[in-house]
Chains A and B, each alone.
Chain A
Amino acid sequence: MTDFVTVYVAELTRRIKSRPFIIGLVIGAIGIFAFIQLPSLLGGAFGGNKQAIVVGDSALTTPAVPLLKGDFTIAATLAPTTVDIALLKAHHASSAIVLSRVGDRLHVAIFARDPGSVPRGEVRADLLPLQVQLAMHGSKSAVTSLLAIPVAIHPIDSKFSSSSQAQAVRGIAYTLIFFLYMLILLNSQLVMSAVAEEKTSRIAELLVASVDPIALLTGKIFAAATLALLQMAIWVGVGLVASMGAAGGADASPIALGGLFSGNLLSAWVLCAFVLFFICGFLQLSTLFAGVASLVNRTEDLGSLSAPLVLPVVGAFFLAISALGDPDAPWVVAASFVPIFSPFVMFARIAVSNVPVWQVAISLALNIAALIGIGILGGKLYRVGMLLYGRAPKFSQIWSVIRS
């Protein structure tokens, strides 16, 4: 245990001070911050100026303004006049919506600095009650109630109370699965590189003479897992701060992490599952990667040797993404019990559906059992592989090591 702690602390200290970790952490944090802030920043700079003036008879503009307010900020309402750039500039508007009536039909002309930014369909939908009112000569309230068809959605065996909530959660789950995939793959590859470095720099023999190889391997892997969790915590923290800033600055911020918990979009159970399945997936993959890395004599060989291990993870990622749409499909349920796949697929199921606790427990138990098996296998490979120099071992030799 002391060996493990020594290796763990040393690895943690070494890696936390390493340039790649710091650069990755900072770039990741900046990326997350920018990703969350971007919509409000872009909105202000490019497409967000939906300030408009409404021009026409007051009989038309008066009922039209409340209908347009959902999509435009109305800077002014003007009597019929000639629209030119000076008029737009005078009211700091990007467009002018000119309303006129020909018989019972409402005519709309929009003068815009950027015609491509005009939401034609939204304007049509906004003004539809006014068009109907003109055609039917009915009262505004009667027309509005006529057009408002009540559509009720009643969830059955769903963890969501509304379709918008379900959609939001799917979006969050997609993001989390992507995070899970990146964190597991990137950090496992870091462990692989570290093992290969020790092998190719020939320091391995000195290390295994000083400390038990299994303590060395587990110390290294757990240090990498800790750093990955730390990295994740920092990124989530940055995300929360950024989202709070974004929410405070612009009502229309599409991502508001601060409201995830209060909006029942992200539960502590989902977060707990995320951490648990991250740990399972990471430990499994990094142990396999470490075992494989111990067999290489040149770092250039890492890619070809690790490819067969990366492919199932990529497959698991896509399985999990499709599981978000149909979490109870038989093949999804089956995959959620298969180690290597289940950290992604079971997590996807947990995020978007009510998975029975016993299924989660079995999946975790299978993952732990697989981890023990992979640990024995990876440990054997590592123990022998670290001292194998010269020609790359043949598959038959690797197999005999595993069987021994």
Chain B
Amino acid sequence: MLQVDRIAKDFGNVHAVREVSFSIPRGSTFGLLGPNGAGKTTTMRMILGILTPDAGTISWSGERIDGKSRRRFGYLPEERGLYGKMKVREQIAYFAQLHRLREPKLTPAVQGWMERLGLSEYADRPCAELSKGNQQKVQVACACVHEPEFLILDEPFSGLDPVNADTLLAVFNEMKRAGTTLVLSSHQMWQLESLCDRFCIIAGGVNRVEGSLTELRAAWPTRVLRVTPRSERLAHILDALPNTQPVPGAQSTLEYVVRADADYASILQSLVQADAVTGFEAVEPSLHEIYLHAIGEGAAA
């Protein structure tokens, strides 16, 4: 388990991270979310030991993270970079060697990751000659070639076309199934929603919310009640309910914001008695909505 406990980091007068805490069980996939400048990258850098926290502690499997444990980590930074003149095969092999991968495991590992990411045909080409998407895949290979037990991916999908994004998503899912602990940061919420077990939303250098999507949804105070057809009799019933508010802009359905703990059975009963109901759904909040709400609270605070 990775345990991040009240870490903080300042750069001069800038408080990049004020107090961030979370825990990531081994083998789980963790989404670290937040707006630009929230402190995500600084938090990741502290986990990796690139930066030292001014306060707080970080441990992996109960032990302080050092050079030895870091060699079992993988990292794909937000800022992409490669040795432009180095060939793809050499580049991946170099990073494998930096993580102490040696022959006879080295060559098959490099070959395997090139095949997995569709890079084999570019193996002997300098990285600078590759497209942006392929360069990003080379970087993913560099981060993963040593089969890390803990992998941090900062914005892994940014700038990728849908096909390449799906390729990476498939690879990360495979790693997840293989037991790799993953930490992802992305603004593509739908990709994280399908991949991550747990989330932490940080803004202004502090935690806003943390938990699984189920836990985050459970803590969400409202639901959107979606009813079809859009009839006046059904609307009349819903308007009469206490603590409800119509969702502006709904076209083909009736949509009302209701309290999460509303009595859905009795609402449905009232609706059925008033008119023919073909659809009744209490829509749970998306990760995107939870995110906007969480950082909005931060802004309000």
Contact = CB atoms under 8 A, between A and B. Distances in A.
Residue from B48, B94, B142 whose CB has the most chain A CB atoms within 10 Å? B94
Nearest to A3: B98
Contact of B80 (A10, A202, A208): A202
A2 B100 contact: yes
Contact of B81 (A6, A203, A397): A203
Contact of B98 (A198, A210, A397): A210
B263 interface: no
Nearest to A203: B81
Interface string A311-334: 000000000000000000000000
B95 A210 contact: yes
A7 B98 CA distance: 7
B83 A6 contact: no
B75 A212 contact: no
Given A209-B50, A397-B12, A6 B75 contact: no
A12 B12 CA distance: 38
A10 B80 CA distance: 21
Contact of B94 (A10, A18, A209): A10
A159 to B, nearest CB: 48
Given A208-B50, A212-B67, A203 B83 contact: yes
B82 interface: yes
B99 A210 contact: yes
Contact of B50 (A18, A198, A387): A387
Interface string B73-111: 101110111111110001000110111100000000000
Interface string A375-404: 000000000000101000000010010000
B75 A201 contact: no
A384 to B, nearest CB: 9
A387 B99 CA distance: 20
Residue from A10, A206, A387 whose CB has the most chain B CB atoms within 10 Å? A206
Interface residues of B, number: 30
Interface residues of A, number: 25
Given A203-B82, A204-B81, A209 B97 contact: no
Contacts of A209: 45, 48, 50, 70, 73, 75, 77
A201 B77 contact: no
Residue from A18, A197, A198, A211 whose CB has the most chain B CB atoms within 10 Å? A211
Interface string A204-233: 111111111000000000000000000000
B139 interface: yes
A14 B45 CA distance: 28
Given A3-B98, A202-B81, A205-B77, 7 more contacts: A203-B82, A208-B50, A209-B45, A209-B50, A209-B75, A210-B71, A210-B95
24 contacts: A3-B67, A3-B98, A6-B100, A10-B94, A10-B97, A18-B85, A197-B83, A202-B77, A202-B81, A203-B83, A205-B45, A205-B50, A206-B81, A206-B95, A206-B139, A209-B45, A209-B70, A209-B73, A209-B75, A210-B70, A210-B71, A210-B75, A210-B95, A210-B98
Interface of B: 12, 45, 48, 50-51, 67, 70-71, 73, 75-77, 79-86, 90, 94-95, 97-100, 139, 142-143
